[in-house]
Amino acid sequence: MSDATAKKEERRKFQAIKGTRDILPPETELWNRVEQTAHEVFSTFGFGEIRPPIFEPTELFARAVGGETDIVSKEMYTFEDRPYELEELPWAETGTYIKNLKDLMQKGMIPRDEATLPELEKAWEEFESTPWNADGSMPGNVLQLAEHVELLKSVIQKGHKISLRPEATASVCRAYIEHNMQQLPQPIKLYYTGPMFRRERPQKGRYRQFYQIGAEILGGTDAPAIDAEVIEMLMTFFDKVGLQGATLYINSIGHNADNCRRGYVATLKAALEKVKDQLGPDSQRRIDTNPLRVLDSKLESEQPIIATLPHIADHLCDECKAHYAAVKRQLELRGVLYQENWRLVRGLDYYMRTTFEITAPGLGSQNAVCGGGRYDGLVELLGGPPTKGIGFAIGEDRLILSLQESGKGQAQQGRDVYIAWMGERAYAAAIRAAKDLRNAGFSVELPPLEQKFGKALSQADKLGAKYALILGDNEVSEALWTLKTLSTGEQEKFPEPELIDFLRNQKSPS
Residue 335: closest CA among 228, 242, 237: 228
Using CB under 6 A, pick the residue from 224, 254, 291, 372 that binds ligand HAM. 372
Residue 274 Cβ, how far from ligand HAM at the closest point, in Å?
Answer: 30
- Of residues 172 and 433, the one with the C-beta less far from ligand HAM: 172
Euclidean distance between the first and final Cα of the chain, in Å? 55
Region near ligand HAM per CB under 6 A, out of 114-122, 174-182, 393-401, 463-471: 393-401
Burial code (b: 16+ CB inside 10 Å, e: under 16) for 245-260 equals ebebbbbbbbbeeeeb
Residue 166 Cβ, how far from ligand HAM at the closest point, in Å?
Answer: 7
Region near ligand HAM per CB under 6 A, out of 49-57, 223-231, 366-374, 470-478: 366-374
The answer for residues whose C-beta is within 8 angstroms of residue 230's C-beta and 6 or more apart is 215, 217, 372, 390, 391, 392
Region near ligand HAM per CB under 6 A, out of 144-152, 185-193, 199-207, 228-236: 199-207
User: Cβ distance 369 to 243 under 8 Å?
Assistant: yes
Q: Quickly list H helices, 137-259.
A: 142-156, 169-178, 224-241
- Of residues 38 and 417, the one with the C-beta less far from ligand HAM: 38
Using CB under 6 A, pick the residue from 56, 59, 216, 229 that binds ligand HAM. 216
Residue 297 Cβ, how far from ligand HAM at the closest point, in Å?
Answer: 16
- Asked whether position 395 contacts ligand HAM by CB under 6 A, the answer is yes
Residue 284 Cβ, how far from ligand HAM at the closest point, in Å?
Answer: 23
Partnered with residue 407 across adjacent β-strands are none
Using CB under 6 A, pick the residue from 42, 47, 207, 421 that binds ligand HAM. 207
Residue 379 Cβ, how far from ligand HAM at the closest point, in Å?
Answer: 12
Residue 52 Cβ, how far from ligand HAM at the closest point, in Å?
Answer: 12
Residue 435 Cβ, how far from ligand HAM at the closest point, in Å?
Answer: 42
Beta strands in 3-108 (DSSP E): 48-49, 55-57, 78-80
User: Cβ distance 450 to 421 under 8 Å?
Assistant: yes
- Asked whether position 392 contacts ligand HAM by CB under 6 A, the answer is yes
- Asked whether position 219 contacts ligand HAM by CB under 6 A, the answer is no
Region near ligand HAM per CB under 6 A, out of 44-52, 295-303, 362-370, 488-496: 362-370
Give, as ranges, the residues between 322 and 351 that touch ligand HAM (CB under 6 A).
Answer: 347-348
Residue 222 Cβ, how far from ligand HAM at the closest point, in Å?
Answer: 14
Size of the site for ligand HAM (CB under 6 A): 26
Using CB under 6 A, pick the residue from 37, 212, 290, 354 that binds ligand HAM. 212
- Asked whether position 391 contacts ligand HAM by CB under 6 A, the answer is yes
The whole-angstrom separation of Cα 345 and Cα 295 is 7
- Of residues 229 and 397, the one with the C-beta less far from ligand HAM: 397
- Of residues 127 and 351, the one with the C-beta less far from ligand HAM: 351
Using CB under 6 A, pick the residue from 68, 200, 376, 496 that binds ligand HAM. 200
Give, as ranges, the residues between 150 and 179 that touch ligand HAM (CB under 6 A).
Answer: 167, 169
- Of residues 200 and 380, the one with the C-beta less far from ligand HAM: 200
Bridge-based pairing state of the strands 417-421 and 467-471: parallel
Residue 368: closest CA among 353, 358, 382: 358
- Asked whether position 213 contacts ligand HAM by CB under 6 A, the answer is no
Bridge-based pairing state of the strands 417-421 and 444-445: parallel
Burial code (b: 16+ CB inside 10 Å, e: under 16) for 418-437 equals bbbbbbeebbebbeebbeeb
- Asked whether position 393 contacts ligand HAM by CB under 6 A, the answer is yes
Backbone φ, ψ for residue 84 (5° rounding): -65, 145
Residue 405 Cβ, how far from ligand HAM at the closest point, in Å?
Answer: 15
Phi-psi region of 159 (alpha: psi -120 to 50; beta: other; left: phi over 0): left
- Asked whether position 66 contacts ligand HAM by CB under 6 A, the answer is no
Q: Count other Cβ atoms within 10 Å, centred on residue 233.
A: 22
Segment holding 185, helix H or strand E: none
- Of residues 51 and 102, the one with the C-beta less far from ligand HAM: 51
The whole-angstrom separation of Cα 37 and Cα 233 is 12
User: Cβ distance 268 to 292 under 8 Å?
Assistant: yes
- Of residues 237 and 375, the one with the C-beta less far from ligand HAM: 375
The whole-angstrom separation of Cα 485 and Cα 2 is 53
Q: Nearest to ligand HAM by Cβ — which residue?
A: 395
- With vertex at residue 89, the alpha carbon angle to CA 142 and CA 119, rounded to the nearest 5 degrees, is 65
Beta strands in 442-487 (DSSP E): 444-445, 467-471, 480-485
The whole-angstrom separation of Cα 400 and Cα 38 is 13
List interacting residues with ligand HAM (CB under 6 A): 167, 169, 198, 200, 205-207, 210, 212, 214, 216, 347-348, 368-373, 375, 391-393, 395, 397-398
